[in-house]
Amino acid sequence: MGVAGPVALVTGGARRVGRAIVLELARAGCDVAIHYRTSRTEAEEVAGEVSRTGRRALAIEADLSTPASWPQVIRQTVEGLGGLGILINNASLIATGAPDTIEGFSLASWERLLRLNLTAPMALAHHARPYLEKQEGGKIVNLCDISADRPWPTHLAYCVSKAALAALTVGLAKALAPRVRVNGIAPGIAVFSDDYPQERRAALISRIPLGRTGTPEDIARAVRFLVESGDYITGEIIRVDGGRSVV
């Protein structure tokens, strides 16, 4: 396969989209470090699934909103799996419990969300850089969001963080060329929360040209494409949204 190296780190890799990315990369031939914050049981379960594919897995617990965790996660990956060729910045926070609106603005909540969604990917790229450059074709994939271009007034900090992450993706592509490729995936709706009202689900789906929501596997396959076949692609943000962005 066309990966830069056999070791990938997936942040937020225990559940939902992150879990699907971990399994897709394992099927592609990668050993995978699975970062999680609180989902220990799920991380251990997906690590077991990776092992059954014949690849190695390592679960790493860390709170990426704390600066001390950033070099720690990279160090544990390299020490545990012997290197690092692929960094998938998937972990993100959509809300902190405080209203993410102009009326409900909270400096503490705003800073915590941006620290996890924007600063942590930058810091992880910084600490991973020596290992990625050593690979002669290292890859970074940032999980952005179509809300970067279509911001929601009910989730202002989240949308701002994803817009900034898209800009960071392009900037890092320039800064790390030619040895490291940096791209982004901008999903639309991939997973509804369990309590999301059915009538609102139907209304959202009606505005998607392909007539359905995405799945975690749709996102994971796009990530695999960039990792496996993206040697001449850098600085791109690929929308995986069923055409929602063009409506």
Q: What is the CATH number of the domain that holds 161?
A: 3.40.50.720
In a domain, 90, yes or no: yes
* Average pLDDT taken over every residue of the chain: 94
In a domain, 2, yes or no: no
15-38 pLDDT, tens digit per residue, is: 999 999 999 999 999 999 999 999
Q: What pLDDT sits at residue 86?
A: 98
- Of 234, 233, 220, give the one whose Cα is nearest residue 32: 220
d(CA 23, CA 9) in angstroms, rounded, equals 12
In a domain, 196, yes or no: yes
3-state SS class at 40: helix
In a domain, 200, yes or no: yes
- Burial (CB count within 10 angstroms: exposed 0-12, middle 13-18, buried 19+), residue 41: exposed
In a domain, 1, yes or no: no
- How many domains are there within the chain? 1
d(CA 152, CA 113) in angstroms, rounded, equals 15
**Could you list the residue range(s) of the whole structural domain that residue 104 is in?**
7-246
Amino acid at 91: A
67-104 pLDDT, tens digit per residue, is: 999 999 999 999 999 999 999 999 999 987 778 999 99
pLDDT-based confidence at residue 5 (cuts at 50, 70, 90): very low
Catalytic option among 36, 131, 158, 232: 158
In a domain, 53, yes or no: yes
164-218 pLDDT, tens digit per residue, is: 999 999 999 999 999 999 999 999 988 777 777 888 889 989 999 999 999 999 9
d(CA 72, CA 78) in angstroms, rounded, equals 10
- Is-catalytic flag, 158? yes
